[in-house]
Structures are given as structure tokens and as C-alpha cells.
Amino acid sequence: MIWDVKMIWDNQCVSDDVDQILEQWRNTRPDIDPSPMELTGRLQRAAVFTREQLTSNFTAAGLEPGQFDVLATIYRAAGKAGALTAGELARWVMVSAGALTNRVDNLVAAGLVTRRHDTANRRRVLIALTDQVYPGANTYFESPARADGSQKWVDYVAAFWHVDYVCSMRLSTFTERYRKWCHRHGYNFQSDKPRMLWEKAKDLIAMLPMDKMTKSLVQTAVAQLNVLSKTVETLRTQMIELAEKLPEYPVVIAMNGVGATLASQLIAEIGDITRFPRRGSLTAFAGVDPGAKQSGTMQLRSNKTSKAGSPHLRRALFQIVSGLLMRAPDDPVYNFMDKKRTEGKPYYVYMTAGANKFLRIYYGRVNEYLAGLSKEQE
């Protein structure tokens, strides 16, 4: 093949860097045959070109070359068991145990592989591809959950339950069925959506076959998810109704970035604001205060946060400041975070600083509001 390519180049009188290098060697050392350099040089250039193309394709899929090796190895070598031990996987991927652990950790975090204990030997850990029939289906729709807890992507999977099912249809057929499905469930039909879903399905690989058993599993999972979602929405409604009865609710929900759900979570996690004697006590409770290092009589402020408080409160705070970053309102918290970001601070640093700033404002406004109510009652 290499020589066929060279013959084509010779016939077309195409010259490249390798030809020029060979010519330089012939002029400098005519007694040496440089033809082996031609073979190895072109092989190296072909390897670099191939690696660049493969890396580009992997990057487009959100993968690194090493992660693809792990996925491909499990897919081809797992056999009927569907899983490999870490030792078997390391052998076939030809990497060390440490390198394999890092790759598998990233793939587990991405939801592409799973670790589980072998039922026959609990000391053995098996690594397998995630049992998916429609990978990424939950990312194709941005519609929020309805009042009853139902979600568009869940209803979609219930109807179009397998990527091979979508691929088995022509685009026109799928478009018509998708249009009828939108009308039946009361969803807005976008004319460009069917093509996007159909084309993406062509690039997906399902880990379970398209048969009656798989369809039954998917439908059962969808039914369970709908029940759980409905329960969550019922509890959310009750939580908001309870929060609305509290005196500080109007001032909390009026804060930028806070809706009914987040307002209820903040009040539930913080509780009575008067139990915190100062702002620093509240930020310490949330774990968004700068940590402290102490040795004898010397105490230094640390750049890292303490993370000693409520993780649920921190999660709610990060949801609030993330929303502020997306909307970029004229708000003191957003302006403070944007300033830190402009200064080149890392993501977690300015996010934590924003959460700290938000809590300090929360502390002042809620205390002021409650104090005003007390004076009115007097």
C-alpha cells in the first residue's frame, strides 16, 4: 500500500517534505541509500495524521482515545458474560492498573460503564458497559417537568424505546410518528427536531437487543420513573405550601435567582435566622467560609473553603449562583462573581465566593424584614 501511494505521487509529480529530505541526503552522502528513511518517514507521517483524525472523532463524542480503547475492549472481549475483571481489561488494553483505574473512573462518572461485584466471588469487581437502549435520550429535550411530574424525554423513550427502532424507520415515517406523538401528549412540534433525533440515533449503539424482553424492561422503568416523579412533585408542592406560611418567605423569594422551590429549600436548611449571631456563623454553617489553619498560637486563613456545613444548603446555593451566571442580571451577587471571574479566579473559587456573598445578603435582608415585622406587631 505504501508503494502504491508512492507510485501515485511519482506519477502526479507530487513532492513533499520526505522527498526533500531524501534529496538532501543524496546530495550530502551519495554513498548512502536513503530509501529506508522514506518508508519509516512516511509511516510516521501517516501515524501522526491518523492519530489526529481519531482524536478529533473521539473529542466530538466526548471521549479520549484511552477511554475509547476501554469501551471497545469491553464490547469485543466481554463475551456472553458482558463484563471483564480489572485484570482482564488491563491485559487487553495493555496499560497499567493505575492508568486503567483513572480511565474507568472517568467512564463511570460519564455513565458509560459500571462496576459491580461478581455474585460468585464478592472479592472480584466486574466492569461492564452500561445497559442502555437509547444513550443520551435525556439530553435531547429541554422542556421542564410538568405539574404532574411527567417529563418529555421520559414520554419520548416510552414511545421510541430503542435506537434501532428509530433507525428502522425512514425519516419521513419517523417524522410523522413523532408529530402524532407530540400532538397526543400535548407537546409543541418543532419541524427540525425529528431529523435531529433520527440522525443522532444513526450514530448510537445500544447495549441491549431490540426484543420483547428489553421493551418490557424499558416500559417498566418508565412506569416506575413516572410514579417517582409524580411523588416528588407532590412533595415539592406541599413543601412550598408550608414555606409560604413562614414570615420570611416573601423576602426570600424576592431575592434574585430564587424561585419557589429554592426559597423553600433555603428556609428549610437555614431554619430560624436568629439562631445565627452574625453573618459569619451562617456562612460557616453552609460551609462556604474560608477555612482556617492553626498551629500553636499562629492561625492563617486558607484559600480552601471549610465544607464543614450542610451539603444540601451548599447545593441549593450553587444552583442559585449558577442561574445568576446564566442570566447575568444587574445584581450585587452576580457582579461580585463576575469581578472574581474577570480576575482569573478558578471556577470553584468564584462560585463559592458568590454563594458566600448571597448568604450574607440573605442574612441581612431576612433579619431586617423580621425586625420590621416585630416592630409592627408591637
What is the total count of domains within the chain?
4
C-beta neighbour count of 163 within 10 angstroms: 23
Q: Which helix (H) or strand (E) holds 125?
A: strand 125-129
Domain, as residue range, for 195: 137-239
186 with 274, same domain: the answer is no
> How much is the pTM?
0.58
- Rounded distance, CA 313 to CA 276, Å? 15
Tabulate helix, strand, coil % of the chain (nearest 5): 65, 5, 30
More confident residue, 287 or 289: 287
251 with 333, same domain: the answer is yes
**Mean pLDDT of the region 276-291:** 86
Residue 278, pLDDT > 70, answer: yes
One-letter amino acid of 171: L
Residue 310: closest CA among 334, 276, 292, 283 = 283
pLDDT tens-place string over residues 90-136: 888 888 888 888 888 888 887 788 888 877 777 888 888 877 788 88
Cell numbers standing for residue 20: 526533500
C-beta neighbour count of 125 within 10 angstroms: 15
pLDDT tens-place string over residues 113-126: 888 887 777 788 88
Residue 318: closest CA among 235, 244, 257 = 257
**Mean pLDDT of the region 239-255:** 93
202 with 305, same domain: the answer is no
**Mean pLDDT of the region 54-83:** 80
Which residues touch 88 (CB under 8 Å, ≥6 apart)? 77
109 with 153, same domain: the answer is no
112 with 181, same domain: the answer is no
Residue 167, pLDDT > 70, answer: yes
322 with 266, same domain: the answer is yes
pLDDT tens-place string over residues 248-273: 999 999 999 999 999 999 999 999 99
Q: Which of 129, 147, 166 is the last residue of a domain?
A: 129
- Rounded distance, CA 172 to CA 177, Å? 9
pLDDT tens-place string over residues 322-343: 999 988 888 999 999 999 999 9
Q: Which of 76, 96, 129 is the last residue of a domain?
A: 129
100 with 197, same domain: the answer is no
364-367 contacts at long range (C-beta below 8 A, 24 or more positions apart): 364/279, 365/251, 365/255, 366/248, 366/251, 366/252, 366/273, 367/273, 367/274
80 with 103, same domain: the answer is yes
226 with 286, same domain: the answer is no
351 with 312, same domain: the answer is yes
Q: Which of 181, 216, 239 is the last residue of a domain?
A: 239
- State the average pLDDT for the chain: 84
Q: Note whether residue 220 is domain-resident.
A: yes
pLDDT score, position 7: 47
Residue 111: closest CA among 78, 136, 133, 139 = 136
